Amino acid sequence: MGRQQTRQRQAASWAVAFLAVVMTAAPAWAARTGRAVSVVRQFQDTLLVVMKAGKSLGFEGRYRKLMPAVRASHDLSYIAELTLGPYWDKLSLAEHRAFVTEFARLTVATYAAQFRRYSGQAFRLTASRAVAQGDVLVETELTTDGHKEATLDYLVAQSAGRWRIVNIVANGVSDLALKRAQYTAIIRKKGFPVLLSILRAKVTELSHGAPKG
């Protein structure tokens, strides 16, 4: 067999092998992204329900409806850990629990304050794709009467067999990065107890409809 024929046969073998890998990976990729998209859609559907009943529910009603939806769709413990960065390992287990509790309350309170009324809003899926470490990025838009108001991109990761949101990038700004910069600066300058107090005060502020700083 000539050298050219050998190369052609090798190339054909590699092409078949590559195609086999792609065909095997494609269903897994589709299933992964599909589950991640479902998590985001279910959460956004809840947001719309809460917005449409926002006035009658009031802040407390919106908060109560959103708490289970946030806990189901967000990996709050993991996000809390990432938010504190190097300070997480310096805290006790009791401090971990206290922070996760207050972090969860503030997360839900923020949603309840921001998504308080409905005026033709809708969420639109624009793309979804696998990214590093097997996570999935779900890209969406918030529209009002068909006009884009904001981009909301969700990083969804799998842990213990569940897909949950671990970060949200709103109009190009990472919520995780923003909170990490703020919270670690507070701990560094004022200590962990002060951070907890600030989070509790923020929840109270949002529940009373005070301007959000």
3-state helix, strand, coil in the chain (%, to 5): 65, 20, 15
Which among 186, 145, 148, 185 has a CA at the least distance from the CA of 170? Answer: 148
Q: What is the pLDDT of residue 160?
A: 86
Which among 94, 187, 92 has a CA at the least distance from the CA of 199? Answer: 187
Give the tokens for residue 128.
């979804």
Cα 11 to Cα 3: distance, rounded to the nearest angstrom: 12
**Torsion sign over Cα 178, 179, 185, 188:** negative
Q: What is the pLDDT of residue 1?
A: 52
Cα 111 to Cα 22: distance, rounded to the nearest angstrom: 40
Give the tokens for residue 36.
């991640």
4-55 tens-digit pLDDT: 454 444 444 444 333 343 344 445 556 678 999 999 999 999 999 999 999 9
- Count of positions (residues) in the chain: 213
Cα 87 to Cα 63: distance, rounded to the nearest angstrom: 29
Q: What is the pLDDT of residue 212?
A: 42
pTM summary value:
0.83
Q: What is the pLDDT of residue 102?
A: 98
Q: What is the pLDDT of residue 40?
A: 98
User: HEC profile for 46-112?
Assistant: HHHHHHHCHHHHHHHHHHHHHHHHHHHHECHHHHHHHHHHHHHHHCCHHHHHHHHHHHHHHHHHHHH
Q: How far is CA 151 from CA 61, 67, 138, 169, 174, in A?
A: 27, 23, 11, 8, 12
Mean pLDDT score across all residues of the chain: 88
Q: How far is CA 94 from CA 53, 84, 205, in A?
A: 37, 15, 25
CB atoms within 10 A of CB 105: 18
Residues of the chain under the 50 pLDDT cut: 3-4, 6-26, 210-213
